[in-house]
Amino acid sequence: MNSKISDKDKKDWENFLSNNHNLPDKDVNYKSDNKKKVYTFDLHGYSLDEANSKVEDLINRSYENGVRKLI
């Protein structure tokens, strides 16, 4: 497979490389803000009623604690 880069793409890349502006590090806030924001839980062994109660409790506690993702 032989692919060629267009002249426009080459020019755009050269312009990007010659630009002296600092690019913001978008991961800085993400890394510090995302610690312990994911919670994983397993409902094996629970009855249906127990699992429903546990899920409701987990959702409420996760919301209160700022958890961003439940697995």
pLDDT in tens, 12-51: 988 888 887 777 777 666 555 555 677 778 899 999 999 9
Round the CA-based radius of gyration of the chain to a whole number and report it.
24
Which is more confidently placed, 8 or 1?
8
